Copies of this chain bind each other. A is one copy, B any other.
Protein backbone atom coordinates (compact mmCIF):
# COMPACT_ATOMS: atom_id res chain seq x y z
CA UNK A 1 0.00 0.00 0.00
CA UNK A 2 2.95 2.27 0.49
CA UNK A 3 3.47 2.43 -3.26
CA UNK A 4 0.20 4.25 -3.70
CA UNK A 5 1.12 7.03 -1.35
CA UNK A 6 3.11 9.18 -3.70
CA UNK A 7 0.20 9.54 -6.08
CA UNK A 8 -1.84 11.48 -3.50
CA UNK A 9 -2.44 15.18 -3.78
CA UNK A 10 -0.13 17.13 -1.57
CA UNK A 11 -1.66 20.55 -1.83
CA UNK A 12 -1.56 20.96 1.94
CA UNK A 13 2.14 20.46 2.17
CA UNK A 14 3.05 23.55 0.22
CA UNK A 15 0.95 25.97 2.22
CA UNK A 16 2.51 26.44 5.61
CA UNK A 17 5.37 28.80 6.25
CA UNK A 18 7.61 29.59 9.17
CA UNK A 19 7.52 32.95 10.82
CA UNK A 20 11.02 32.44 12.17
CA UNK A 21 12.56 29.90 9.87
CA UNK A 22 15.38 27.82 11.25
CA UNK A 23 17.97 27.68 8.50
CA UNK A 24 17.71 23.95 8.07
CA UNK A 25 14.03 24.13 7.19
CA UNK A 26 13.72 26.94 4.73
CA UNK A 27 13.66 24.62 1.76
CA UNK A 28 11.86 21.35 1.20
CA UNK A 29 14.05 18.84 2.95
CA UNK A 30 15.64 15.79 1.49
CA UNK A 31 16.94 12.76 3.19
CA UNK A 32 20.61 13.37 3.64
CA UNK A 33 21.73 9.98 2.44
CA UNK A 34 24.69 11.84 0.98
CA UNK A 35 26.21 12.41 4.42
CA UNK A 36 29.63 10.73 4.47
CA UNK A 37 28.69 8.63 7.51
CA UNK A 38 26.04 6.77 5.56
CA UNK A 39 28.00 6.05 2.39
CA UNK A 40 28.47 2.39 1.61
CA UNK A 41 28.07 1.05 5.10
CA UNK A 42 25.94 -2.01 5.61
CA UNK A 43 24.62 -1.33 9.08
CA UNK A 44 25.33 1.67 11.30
CA UNK A 45 24.60 1.72 15.01
CA UNK A 46 23.17 4.81 16.67
CA UNK A 47 25.78 4.55 19.42
CA UNK A 48 28.51 4.97 16.87
CA UNK A 49 27.04 8.16 15.39
CA UNK A 50 28.84 11.39 16.15
CA UNK A 51 26.78 14.38 17.22
CA UNK A 52 27.35 15.80 13.76
CA UNK A 53 26.17 12.62 12.06
CA UNK A 54 23.10 12.44 14.29
CA UNK A 55 22.21 16.03 13.52
CA UNK A 56 22.28 15.34 9.81
CA UNK A 57 19.43 12.82 10.07
CA UNK A 58 16.34 14.47 8.65
CA UNK A 59 12.77 13.42 8.01
CA UNK A 60 11.13 13.61 4.59
CA UNK A 61 8.41 16.21 4.96
CA UNK A 62 6.60 15.32 1.77
CA UNK A 63 6.58 11.64 2.60
CA UNK A 64 5.32 12.37 6.09
CA UNK A 65 2.47 14.56 4.85
CA UNK A 66 1.66 12.10 2.08
CA UNK A 67 1.26 9.35 4.64
CA UNK A 68 -0.89 11.48 6.96
CA UNK A 69 -3.28 12.51 4.21
CA UNK A 70 -3.27 9.02 2.72
CA UNK A 71 -4.61 7.44 5.91
CA UNK A 72 -7.08 10.30 6.35
CA UNK A 73 -9.03 8.79 3.44
CA UNK A 74 -10.39 6.46 6.15
CA UNK A 75 -12.84 8.47 8.23
CA UNK A 76 -12.78 11.74 6.30
CA UNK A 77 -14.88 14.35 8.10
CA UNK A 78 -16.36 17.73 7.47
CA UNK A 79 -14.93 19.86 4.68
CA UNK A 80 -13.74 23.32 5.76
CA UNK A 81 -11.68 24.45 2.76
CA UNK A 82 -11.49 23.86 -0.96
CA UNK A 83 -8.18 21.93 -1.01
CA UNK A 84 -8.21 18.13 -1.19
CA UNK A 85 -6.83 17.80 2.32
CA UNK A 86 -8.95 20.52 3.87
CA UNK A 87 -11.42 18.31 5.69
CA UNK A 88 -11.68 17.18 9.26
CA UNK A 89 -11.74 13.59 10.48
CA UNK A 90 -14.42 11.43 12.02
CA UNK A 91 -12.70 8.16 12.80
CA UNK A 92 -14.16 6.72 15.96
CA UNK A 93 -12.25 4.02 17.79
CA UNK A 94 -12.79 0.46 16.50
CA UNK A 95 -15.03 1.60 13.66
CA UNK A 96 -14.64 0.23 10.14
CA UNK A 97 -12.48 3.20 9.18
CA UNK A 98 -10.34 2.76 12.29
CA UNK A 99 -9.81 -0.85 11.19
CA UNK A 100 -8.65 0.37 7.77
CA UNK A 101 -6.16 2.77 9.33
CA UNK A 102 -4.98 0.06 11.73
CA UNK A 103 -4.48 -2.40 8.87
CA UNK A 104 -2.37 0.16 7.05
CA UNK A 105 -0.36 0.74 10.24
CA UNK A 106 0.32 -3.00 10.63
CA UNK A 107 1.24 -3.58 6.96
CA UNK A 108 3.43 -0.48 6.79
CA UNK A 109 5.38 -1.15 9.96
CA UNK A 110 5.83 -4.82 9.02
CA UNK A 111 7.19 -3.72 5.64
CA UNK A 112 9.66 -1.56 7.60
CA UNK A 113 11.02 -4.58 9.45
CA UNK A 114 8.88 -4.42 12.57
CA UNK A 115 7.27 -7.23 14.45
CA UNK A 116 3.71 -6.27 15.35
CA UNK A 117 1.92 -7.27 18.54
CA UNK A 118 -1.74 -6.55 19.28
CA UNK A 119 -2.83 -6.79 22.90
CA UNK A 120 -6.22 -7.50 24.45
CA UNK A 121 -7.17 -3.81 24.21
CA UNK A 122 -6.18 -3.54 20.56
CA UNK A 123 -3.07 -1.55 21.46
CA UNK A 124 -0.70 -2.22 18.58
CA UNK A 125 3.05 -2.33 19.15
CA UNK A 126 5.27 -2.22 16.05
CA UNK A 127 8.80 -3.03 17.22
CA UNK A 128 11.96 -2.68 15.15
CA UNK A 129 14.78 -4.84 16.56
CA UNK A 130 17.94 -3.27 17.94
CA UNK A 131 21.42 -4.64 18.47
CA UNK A 132 20.42 -5.89 21.94
CA UNK A 133 17.24 -7.55 23.09
CA UNK A 134 15.42 -5.32 25.56
CA UNK A 135 12.16 -3.40 25.86
CA UNK A 136 11.75 -0.85 23.06
CA UNK A 137 12.03 2.89 23.18
CA UNK A 138 8.67 3.88 21.71
CA UNK A 139 6.96 6.69 19.92
CA UNK A 140 3.27 6.38 20.73
CA UNK A 141 -0.02 8.13 20.08
CA UNK A 142 -3.39 7.23 18.56
CA UNK A 143 -5.20 6.93 15.23
CA UNK A 144 -8.76 7.43 16.53
CA UNK A 145 -10.33 10.91 16.38
CA UNK A 146 -13.21 12.89 17.78
CA UNK A 147 -16.45 12.67 15.74
CA UNK A 148 -15.72 16.20 14.52
CA UNK A 149 -11.97 16.05 14.86
CA UNK A 150 -9.04 16.98 12.66
CA UNK A 151 -6.08 15.40 10.86
CA UNK A 152 -3.37 15.99 13.46
CA UNK A 153 -4.50 15.17 17.01
CA UNK A 154 -2.97 11.71 17.59
CA UNK A 155 -2.50 10.99 13.91
CA UNK A 156 0.60 13.17 13.64
CA UNK A 157 2.27 11.31 16.51
CA UNK A 158 1.74 7.90 14.89
CA UNK A 159 2.91 9.05 11.46
CA UNK A 160 5.96 10.74 12.91
CA UNK A 161 6.87 7.40 14.47
CA UNK A 162 6.46 5.66 11.13
CA UNK A 163 8.54 8.34 9.41
CA UNK A 164 11.25 7.64 12.02
CA UNK A 165 11.17 3.95 11.02
CA UNK A 166 11.50 4.96 7.39
CA UNK A 167 14.48 7.22 8.05
CA UNK A 168 16.19 4.44 9.99
CA UNK A 169 15.58 2.09 7.08
CA UNK A 170 16.73 4.66 4.51
CA UNK A 171 20.04 4.98 6.33
CA UNK A 172 20.38 1.32 7.19
CA UNK A 173 20.65 2.44 10.80
CA UNK A 174 20.58 -0.03 13.64
CA UNK A 175 19.63 1.18 17.13
CA UNK A 176 21.31 -0.19 20.22
CA UNK A 177 17.94 -1.31 21.58
CA UNK A 178 14.63 -1.89 19.86
CA UNK A 179 12.56 1.12 18.91
CA UNK A 180 8.92 1.09 18.09
CA UNK A 181 5.64 2.81 17.43
CA UNK A 182 2.52 2.23 19.54
CA UNK A 183 -1.03 2.91 18.41
CA UNK A 184 -3.10 3.19 21.61
CA UNK A 185 -6.82 2.37 21.32
CA UNK A 186 -9.68 4.85 21.97
CA UNK A 187 -7.53 7.67 23.31
CA UNK A 188 -10.30 10.19 22.65
CA UNK A 189 -12.93 8.44 24.71
CA UNK A 190 -15.36 9.70 22.10
CA UNK A 191 -16.89 6.34 21.23
CA UNK A 192 -16.22 4.41 24.46
CA UNK A 193 -16.49 6.98 27.21
CA UNK A 194 -13.20 6.73 29.06
CA UNK A 195 -10.36 8.74 27.56
CA UNK A 196 -6.97 6.99 27.25
CA UNK A 197 -8.65 3.81 28.40
CA UNK A 198 -6.36 1.37 26.60
CA UNK A 199 -3.09 2.89 27.80
CA UNK A 200 -4.79 2.93 31.20
CA UNK A 201 -5.32 -0.82 31.02
CA UNK A 202 -1.73 -1.31 29.83
CA UNK A 203 -0.57 0.67 32.89
CA UNK A 204 -2.87 -1.49 35.06
CA UNK A 205 -4.69 1.60 36.27
CA UNK A 206 -7.98 0.54 34.64
CA UNK A 207 -9.21 -3.06 34.76
CA UNK A 208 -9.50 -5.01 31.52
CA UNK A 209 -13.02 -6.08 32.45
CA UNK A 210 -14.24 -2.54 32.96
CA UNK A 211 -12.67 -1.44 29.67
CA UNK A 212 -13.99 -4.41 27.70
CA UNK A 213 -17.50 -3.81 28.98
CA UNK A 214 -17.59 -0.12 28.06
CA UNK A 215 -20.64 0.45 25.87
CA UNK A 216 -20.52 2.82 22.94
CA UNK A 217 -22.05 6.25 23.45
CA UNK A 218 -25.21 7.16 21.57
CA UNK A 219 -27.32 4.15 22.45
CA UNK A 220 -25.67 1.42 20.36
CA UNK A 221 -25.24 -2.09 21.76
CA UNK A 222 -21.55 -2.55 20.93
CA UNK A 223 -18.92 -2.83 23.67
CA UNK A 224 -15.19 -2.33 23.36
CA UNK A 225 -14.72 -6.07 23.46
CA UNK A 226 -17.36 -6.84 20.84
CA UNK A 227 -15.90 -4.21 18.53
CA UNK A 228 -12.31 -5.38 19.08
CA UNK A 229 -13.48 -8.85 18.08
CA UNK A 230 -15.53 -7.64 15.15
CA UNK A 231 -12.66 -5.74 13.51
CA UNK A 232 -10.07 -8.39 14.38
CA UNK A 233 -8.04 -6.41 16.92
CA UNK A 234 -8.74 -8.39 20.09
CA UNK A 235 -5.17 -9.57 20.59
CA UNK A 236 -4.14 -12.62 22.61
CA UNK A 237 -1.33 -10.80 24.47
CA UNK A 238 -2.45 -9.40 27.83
CA UNK A 239 -2.92 -5.63 27.84
CA UNK A 240 -0.27 -4.93 30.44
CA UNK A 241 3.11 -3.30 30.81
CA UNK A 242 4.25 -6.63 32.23
CA UNK A 243 3.57 -8.44 28.97
CA UNK A 244 4.57 -5.56 26.70
CA UNK A 245 7.17 -3.55 28.63
CA UNK A 246 8.34 -0.24 27.15
CA UNK A 247 11.71 1.27 28.03
CA UNK A 248 10.65 4.86 27.34
CA UNK A 249 7.67 6.59 25.69
CA UNK A 250 7.87 9.72 23.56
CA UNK A 251 4.76 11.33 22.11
CA UNK A 252 4.64 14.04 19.49
CA UNK A 253 1.35 15.93 19.67
CA UNK A 254 -0.18 19.18 18.54
CA UNK A 255 -0.30 21.65 21.41
CA UNK A 256 -4.09 22.08 21.34
CA UNK A 257 -3.45 25.51 22.78
CA UNK A 258 -2.29 28.89 21.52
CA UNK A 259 1.00 29.43 23.30
CA UNK A 260 3.57 28.27 20.73
CA UNK A 261 1.81 30.11 17.92
CA UNK A 262 1.45 33.29 19.97
CA UNK A 263 5.09 33.17 21.03
CA UNK A 264 6.26 32.29 17.51
CA UNK A 265 7.98 29.20 18.84
CA UNK A 266 8.24 25.76 17.28
CA UNK A 267 8.70 23.10 19.94
CA UNK A 268 7.27 22.64 23.41
CA UNK A 269 9.36 20.39 25.66
CA UNK A 270 6.58 18.95 27.80
CA UNK A 271 7.45 18.69 31.48
CA UNK A 272 4.28 16.98 32.56
CA UNK A 273 0.53 17.30 32.68
CA UNK A 274 -1.47 19.72 34.78
CA UNK A 275 -3.41 18.53 37.77
CA UNK A 276 -7.13 19.19 37.51
CA UNK A 277 -10.34 18.74 39.41
CA UNK A 278 -13.82 18.98 37.98
CA UNK A 279 -16.78 20.00 40.11
CA UNK A 280 -20.50 20.46 39.69
CA UNK A 281 -21.70 23.43 41.71
CA UNK A 282 -25.39 23.70 42.60
CA UNK A 283 -26.74 27.03 43.76
CA UNK A 284 -30.20 26.90 45.31
CA UNK A 285 -32.22 30.05 45.94
CA UNK A 286 -35.90 30.68 45.26
CA UNK A 287 -37.88 31.30 42.08
CA UNK A 288 -39.55 34.71 42.14
CA UNK A 289 -41.11 37.26 39.81
CA UNK A 290 -38.55 39.70 38.39
CA UNK A 291 -41.04 42.57 38.53
CA UNK A 292 -42.62 42.11 41.91
CA UNK A 293 -39.67 40.98 44.00
CA UNK A 294 -37.38 43.70 45.39
CA UNK A 295 -33.69 42.88 45.70
CA UNK A 296 -34.11 42.60 49.48
CA UNK A 297 -36.52 39.68 49.08
CA UNK A 298 -34.54 37.77 46.47
CA UNK A 299 -32.53 34.59 46.68
CA UNK A 300 -31.29 34.95 43.09
CA UNK A 301 -29.39 31.81 42.10
CA UNK A 302 -28.31 33.27 38.74
CA UNK A 303 -26.84 36.42 40.26
CA UNK A 304 -25.04 34.34 42.87
CA UNK A 305 -23.74 31.89 40.26
CA UNK A 306 -22.50 34.80 38.15
CA UNK A 307 -20.58 36.19 41.13
CA UNK A 308 -19.12 32.76 41.95
CA UNK A 309 -17.93 32.23 38.38
CA UNK A 310 -16.33 35.67 38.24
CA UNK A 311 -14.76 35.04 41.64
CA UNK A 312 -13.31 31.69 40.55
CA UNK A 313 -11.35 33.66 37.94
CA UNK A 314 -10.09 36.14 40.55
CA UNK A 315 -8.84 33.40 42.86
CA UNK A 316 -7.35 31.26 40.08
CA UNK A 317 -5.50 34.27 38.65
CA UNK A 318 -4.05 35.02 42.09
CA UNK A 319 -2.67 31.46 42.25
CA UNK A 320 -1.52 31.39 38.59
CA UNK A 321 -3.96 28.53 38.13
CA UNK A 322 -6.87 28.10 35.71
CA UNK A 323 -10.60 28.08 36.50
CA UNK A 324 -13.26 27.62 33.85
CA UNK A 325 -17.00 27.12 33.57
CA UNK A 326 -18.06 25.32 30.41
CA UNK A 327 -21.58 24.20 31.35
CA UNK A 328 -24.37 26.14 33.05
CA UNK A 329 -28.04 25.29 33.34
CA UNK A 330 -30.76 27.07 35.27
CA UNK A 331 -34.39 26.66 36.15
CA UNK A 332 -37.14 27.50 35.59
CA UNK A 333 -35.78 29.56 32.65
CA UNK A 334 -38.22 32.40 31.98
CA UNK A 335 -37.31 36.02 31.26
CA UNK A 336 -39.45 37.33 34.12
CA UNK A 337 -38.66 34.68 36.71
CA UNK A 338 -35.59 34.91 38.92
CA UNK A 339 -33.99 31.45 38.71
CA UNK A 340 -34.22 29.48 41.91
CA UNK A 341 -31.63 26.94 40.81
CA UNK A 342 -28.41 27.15 38.82
CA UNK A 343 -25.95 24.33 38.19
CA UNK A 344 -22.56 24.97 36.67
CA UNK A 345 -19.30 23.12 36.05
CA UNK A 346 -16.03 24.29 37.54
CA UNK A 347 -12.71 23.07 36.14
CA UNK A 348 -9.63 24.01 38.21
CA UNK A 349 -6.12 23.30 36.85
CA UNK A 350 -2.53 23.89 37.77
CA UNK A 351 0.78 22.14 37.14
CA UNK A 352 0.99 21.67 40.91
CA UNK A 353 -1.49 19.53 42.86
CA UNK A 354 -1.23 21.72 45.95
CA UNK A 355 -2.24 24.77 43.93
CA UNK A 356 -5.42 23.07 42.73
CA UNK A 357 -6.18 22.20 46.34
CA UNK A 358 -5.47 25.75 47.49
CA UNK A 359 -7.76 27.26 44.86
CA UNK A 360 -10.50 24.78 45.75
CA UNK A 361 -10.18 25.51 49.47
CA UNK A 362 -10.32 29.26 48.94
CA UNK A 363 -13.33 28.98 46.64
CA UNK A 364 -15.22 26.68 48.99
CA UNK A 365 -14.80 29.27 51.72
CA UNK A 366 -15.60 32.27 49.54
CA UNK A 367 -18.53 30.67 47.69
CA UNK A 368 -20.21 29.90 51.01
CA UNK A 369 -19.63 33.45 52.21
CA UNK A 370 -20.96 35.04 49.02
CA UNK A 371 -24.05 32.80 48.97
CA UNK A 372 -24.72 33.76 52.57
CA UNK A 373 -25.01 37.43 51.65
CA UNK A 374 -21.40 38.50 52.07
CA UNK A 375 -19.16 40.14 49.52
CA UNK A 376 -15.96 38.17 49.78
CA UNK A 377 -15.69 38.62 46.02
CA UNK A 378 -15.71 42.41 45.96
CA UNK A 379 -16.01 44.54 49.10
CA UNK A 380 -17.93 47.16 47.13
CA UNK A 381 -20.54 44.73 45.83
CA UNK A 382 -23.94 45.91 47.10
CA UNK A 383 -25.30 43.65 49.82
CA UNK A 384 -28.91 43.94 48.76
CA UNK A 385 -30.35 40.81 50.33
CA UNK A 386 -29.89 38.91 53.55
CA UNK A 387 -31.42 35.76 52.11
CA UNK A 388 -28.99 32.87 52.21
CA UNK A 389 -28.58 30.58 49.24
CA UNK A 390 -27.22 27.05 49.39
CA UNK A 391 -24.05 26.14 47.48
CA UNK A 392 -23.38 22.45 47.02
CA UNK A 393 -20.17 21.01 45.58
CA UNK A 394 -19.87 17.64 43.85
CA UNK A 395 -16.39 16.47 42.90
CA UNK A 396 -16.65 14.75 39.51
CA UNK A 397 -13.02 14.11 38.59
CA UNK A 398 -9.66 14.39 40.29
CA UNK A 399 -6.53 14.06 38.18
CA UNK A 400 -3.19 14.52 39.89
CA UNK A 401 -0.31 16.35 38.23
CA UNK A 402 2.01 14.24 36.11
CA UNK A 403 5.73 14.94 36.03
CA UNK A 404 7.54 13.48 33.06
CA UNK A 405 10.96 11.85 33.37
CA UNK A 406 14.05 14.08 33.42
CA UNK A 407 15.93 11.76 31.04
CA UNK A 408 13.17 11.95 28.45
CA UNK A 409 12.74 15.69 28.93
CA UNK A 410 16.51 16.10 28.46
CA UNK A 411 16.42 13.99 25.29
CA UNK A 412 13.60 16.12 23.84
CA UNK A 413 15.33 19.36 24.77
CA UNK A 414 18.60 18.25 23.19
CA UNK A 415 16.78 17.03 20.08
CA UNK A 416 14.85 20.28 19.73
CA UNK A 417 18.03 22.29 20.14
CA UNK A 418 19.89 20.37 17.48
CA UNK A 419 16.96 20.29 15.00
CA UNK A 420 16.10 23.98 15.33
CA UNK A 421 19.54 25.40 16.14
CA UNK A 422 17.84 28.22 18.06
CA UNK A 423 16.95 27.95 21.72
CA UNK A 424 14.49 30.80 21.28
CA UNK A 425 12.22 28.53 19.26
CA UNK A 426 11.92 26.04 22.11
CA UNK A 427 10.02 26.39 25.37
CA UNK A 428 9.27 24.21 28.35
CA UNK A 429 5.54 23.55 28.62
CA UNK A 430 3.01 21.72 30.72
CA UNK A 431 0.23 19.87 28.96
CA UNK A 432 -3.22 21.06 29.81
CA UNK A 433 -4.91 18.04 28.30
CA UNK A 434 -4.54 14.34 29.03
CA UNK A 435 -2.68 12.00 26.64
CA UNK A 436 -1.68 8.33 26.54
CA UNK A 437 1.69 9.53 27.81
CA UNK A 438 0.04 10.13 31.19
CA UNK A 439 -0.55 6.40 31.65
CA UNK A 440 2.71 5.50 29.91
CA UNK A 441 4.57 7.67 32.41
CA UNK A 442 3.27 5.50 35.26
CA UNK A 443 5.27 2.56 33.91
CA UNK A 444 8.25 3.99 32.01
CA UNK A 445 10.22 7.20 31.51
CA UNK A 446 8.12 9.46 29.31
CA UNK A 447 7.97 12.89 27.77
CA UNK A 448 6.09 14.68 25.04
CA UNK A 449 6.83 17.09 22.22
CA UNK A 450 4.36 19.80 21.29
CA UNK A 451 4.11 21.57 17.95
CA UNK A 452 1.98 24.64 17.21
CA UNK A 453 -1.54 24.30 15.88
CA UNK A 454 -3.36 27.10 14.15
CA UNK A 455 -5.24 29.37 16.60
CA UNK A 456 -4.81 26.71 19.26
CA UNK A 457 -7.80 24.91 17.78
CA UNK A 458 -8.25 21.15 18.14
CA UNK A 459 -11.18 18.73 18.29
CA UNK A 460 -12.46 20.60 15.29
CA UNK A 461 -12.31 19.85 11.55
CA UNK A 462 -10.19 22.97 11.04
CA UNK A 463 -7.46 21.74 13.38
CA UNK A 464 -4.27 22.47 11.45
CA UNK A 465 -0.52 22.24 11.80
CA UNK A 466 1.65 23.33 8.89
CA UNK A 467 3.73 20.72 7.01
CA UNK A 468 6.87 22.49 8.21
CA UNK A 469 5.81 22.22 11.83
CA UNK A 470 4.76 18.59 11.37
CA UNK A 471 8.20 17.84 9.96
CA UNK A 472 10.02 19.72 12.75
CA UNK A 473 8.01 17.81 15.32
CA UNK A 474 8.66 14.46 13.63
CA UNK A 475 12.35 15.20 13.43
CA UNK A 476 12.51 16.17 17.12
CA UNK A 477 10.65 12.95 17.95
CA UNK A 478 13.11 10.86 15.94
CA UNK A 479 16.12 12.57 17.49
CA UNK A 480 14.66 12.19 20.98
CA UNK A 481 14.25 8.44 20.48
CA UNK A 482 17.75 8.09 19.07
CA UNK A 483 19.31 10.21 21.82
CA UNK A 484 17.49 8.14 24.39
CA UNK A 485 18.83 5.00 22.68
CA UNK A 486 22.32 6.46 22.95
CA UNK A 487 21.73 7.23 26.60
CA UNK A 488 20.68 3.64 27.28
CA UNK A 489 23.86 2.43 25.58
CA UNK A 490 26.06 4.85 27.55
CA UNK A 491 24.53 3.69 30.82
CA UNK A 492 24.97 0.07 29.83
CA UNK A 493 28.66 0.68 29.22
CA UNK A 494 29.16 2.28 32.62
The chain A residues found within 8 Å of chain B, CB to CB, are 255-259, 262, 274, 276, 278, 288-295, 297, 300, 302-303, 305-307, 309-310, 313-314, 316-318, 322, 324-328, 330, 333-339, 345, 347, 349, 378, 380-382, 384, 396, 431-433, 456-459
Contacts and interface: CB of A to CB of B under 8 A. Distances in A.
B322 A458 contact: no
Nearest to A433: B291
A281 to B, nearest CB: 12
A368 B315 CA distance: 24
Contacts of A258: 288, 292-294, 297
15 contacts: A256-B292, A258-B297, A274-B291, A288-B457, A289-B432, A289-B458, A289-B459, A290-B324, A303-B309, A306-B309, A306-B310, A306-B325, A326-B330, A336-B347, A336-B433
Quickly give the copy total for this chain. Answer: 2
Contact of A292 (B305, B337, B432): B432
Contacts of A322: 290-291, 294-295
A347 to B, nearest CB: 5
Contacts of A302: 309, 324-326, 328
A20 B364 CA distance: 42
Which secondary structure dominates chain A's binding surface? mixed
Given A302-B309, A306-B310, A317-B384, A257 B293 contact: yes
A181 to B, nearest CB: 25
B336 A289 contact: no
Nearest to A396: B335
Given A313-B384, A335-B396, 16 more contacts: A255-B292, A257-B293, A278-B335, A290-B324, A290-B326, A291-B347, A291-B431, A291-B433, A292-B458, A302-B326, A303-B313, A305-B306, A313-B382, A324-B336, A326-B334, A328-B328
